[in-house]
Amino acid sequence: MSVAVGAILQISATSLSPQTEAILAGSISVAAAGLVTWMLFWLAKTARSLAGHLRDEVD
């Protein structure tokens, strides 16, 4: 799926106006920042539960 989206963006990038290109780049940047933020919260939550599980197994 990522390859298909990348191919579509690569093909359509040549036909975009500079303003549309800037909007697309900004939108992708905001989406990437949101994904990384979500990943950090998920990782922190998972690390806490995993640490508790490991401590229980050791005891």
Sign of CA dihedral 14, 18, 20, 21: positive
Measured between alpha carbons, how far is 55 from 30 in angstroms, rounded to an integer?
38
* Per-residue model confidence (pLDDT) at position 21: 86
* Per-residue model confidence (pLDDT) at position 6: 85
DSSP for residue 17: -
- Rounded to 5°, angle at Cα 45 from 2 and 1: 10
* Per-residue model confidence (pLDDT) at position 40: 98
* Per-residue model confidence (pLDDT) at position 41: 97
Q: Which residues of the chain have pLDDT under 50?
A: none
| pTM given for the model | 0.65
Are 21 and 13 a contacting pair, CB within 8 Å?
Answer: yes
